[in-house]
């Protein structure tokens, strides 16, 4: 019998496999590889299972650049999708003046050809990371979407996806095939044929809740908490989600922009570096930047900008910290910034909250990927239940 006394997050932090299948069948389909995606503004996060059942997660900066011709030395991994032009993604693109893809709604983003190509390339990288070979891969994709794109269905009390988001996914991703030619640093080409056979959207914060609250079999682990607030500190958005456990109820609201505001202030403070949004965001996470050809430590400048500009973020979180009726869970890429974590801990202490008792900050190892893991798990459970 599957262990039900530990949540999925507890098992992951303890290095214990979730014991879930990586191959599913949906509605009488052939075998499909389950995969979870959180199509974030700062990083795109992907989760799937290794052949041996271990979880694989990957976070790639959402940065795109048309590939340049390299005439000597080491190559750079490049991609061409559906016979299109070659491009670079992630840190490779970032290191060569690539810029972030546009921030916006799911519909706006998946309607952008560059973004669809970027997403296909990211899928390929996660498949490689998990040990899979090039070839045909039919996918059952659980996709985490912003909470404000989730609406109550007209009939019943179930949540659904806004029409704009649903139509955009159907038009641009669902049932579509993307042929990705990946050229590695040595010039070797492999061809990956990806078909999004199933697209299963769910609220981003619901993924975090599922992994934090449930055991791998989908049953809730009773920790005595009946009212939870999730604060998701993303690059583009700061989101609050209130969840009542029994009866289950989810309510969400956007609290404004996320860490992108701090990144832009940071870039303005160092005008000589001419950092774009993506470069500034990554610099704040790594606490380094390349200047005049050298890697430079900028930890002091990052701490200063968080101390000054991070107060606005903290102020928007304060109502959640100051109320005593709900447990508060902090997650998202923002918790990777040590200065911001420290500020949250200080404000929580002032509000009388104790770590583990009144609030929790998701460990950095999984803070960025919980939504993607939750989307993956939801696809597996949905297939198992025949939905």
- pLDDT tens, position by position, 112-158: 999 999 999 999 999 999 999 999 999 999 999 888 887 755 544 55
Count of the separate structural domains present in the chain: 2
- pLDDT tens, position by position, 211-261: 999 999 999 998 889 999 999 998 888 999 999 988 888 888 889 888 999
270 domain residue, yes or no:
no
Give the separation between CA 244 and CA 198, rounded to whole angstroms: 29
284 domain residue, yes or no:
no
Mean pLDDT, the chain, rounded, equals: 89
The bridge status of strand 55-61 relative to strand 43-49 is antiparallel
Quick one: 351 and 308 in the same domain?
A: yes
- pLDDT tens, position by position, 298-324: 899 999 998 888 888 999 999 998 888
The pLDDT value recorded for residue 158 is 56
Quick one: 60 and 91 in the same domain?
A: yes
Q: Any residues with CB less than 8 A from the CB of 188 and at least 6 apart, and which? A: none
Quick one: 24 and 142 in the same domain?
A: yes
Range of the domain at 43: 8-214+367-385
The pLDDT value recorded for residue 2 is 47
pTM: 0.91
Quick one: 353 and 380 in the same domain?
A: no
Quick one: 237 and 358 in the same domain?
A: yes
Residue with tokens 């832009």: 264
- Burial of residue 219 (CB within 10 Å: 0-12, 13-18, 19+) is exposed
The pLDDT value recorded for residue 237 is 86
The enclosing domain of 239 has a CATH number of 3.30.420
């Amino acid at each position: 019998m599957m262990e039900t006394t530990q949540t999925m997050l507890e098992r992951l932090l303890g290095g214990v496999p979730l014991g879930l299948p990586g191959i599913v069948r949906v509605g009488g389909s052939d075998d499909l590889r389950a995969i979870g995606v959180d199509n974030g503004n700062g990083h795109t996060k992907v989760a799937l299972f290794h052949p041996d059942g271990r979880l694989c997660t990957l976070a790639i900066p959402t940065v795109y650049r048309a590939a340049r011709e390299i005439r000597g030395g080491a190559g750079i991994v490049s991609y061409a999708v559906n016979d299109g032009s070659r491009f670079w993604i992630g840190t490779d693109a970032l290191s060569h003046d690539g810029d972030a893809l546009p921030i916006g709604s799911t519909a706006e983003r998946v309607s952008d050809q560059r973004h669809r190509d970027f997403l296909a390339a990211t899928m390929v990288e996660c498949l490689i990371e998990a040990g899979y070979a090039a070839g045909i891969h039919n996918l059952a994709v659980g996709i985490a979407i912003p909470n404000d794109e989730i609406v109550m269905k007209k009939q019943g009390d179930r949540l659904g996806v806004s029409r704009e988001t649903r139509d955009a996914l159907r038009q641009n991703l669902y049932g579509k095939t993307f042929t990705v030619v990946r050229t590695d640093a040595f010039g070797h080409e492999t061809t990956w044929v990806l078909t999004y056979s199933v697209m299963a959207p769910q609220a981003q914060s619901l993924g975090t809740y599922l992994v934090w609250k449930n055991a791998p079999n989908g049953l809730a682990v009773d920790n005595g908490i009946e009212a939870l607030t999730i604060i998701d500190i993303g690059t583009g958005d700061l989101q609050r989600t209130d969840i009542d456990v029994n009866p289950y109820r989810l309510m969400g609201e956007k609290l404004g922009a996320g860490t992108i505001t701090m990144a832009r202030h940071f870039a303005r403070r160092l005008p000589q570096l001419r950092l774009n949004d993506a470069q500034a965001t990554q610099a704040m996470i790594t606490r380094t930047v390349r200047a005049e050809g050298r890697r430079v430590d900028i930890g002091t400048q990052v701490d200063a900008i968080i101390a000054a500009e991070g107060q606005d973020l903290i102020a928007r979180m304060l109502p959640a910290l100051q109320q005593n009726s709900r447990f508060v869970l902090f997650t998202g890429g923002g918790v990777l910034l040590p200065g911001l974590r420290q500020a949250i801990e200080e404000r929580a202490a002032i509000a009388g909250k104790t770590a583990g008792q009144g609030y929790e900050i998701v460990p950095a190892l999984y803070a960025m990927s919980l939504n993607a893991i939750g989307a993956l798990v939801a696809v597996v459970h949905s297939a198992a239940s025949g939905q």
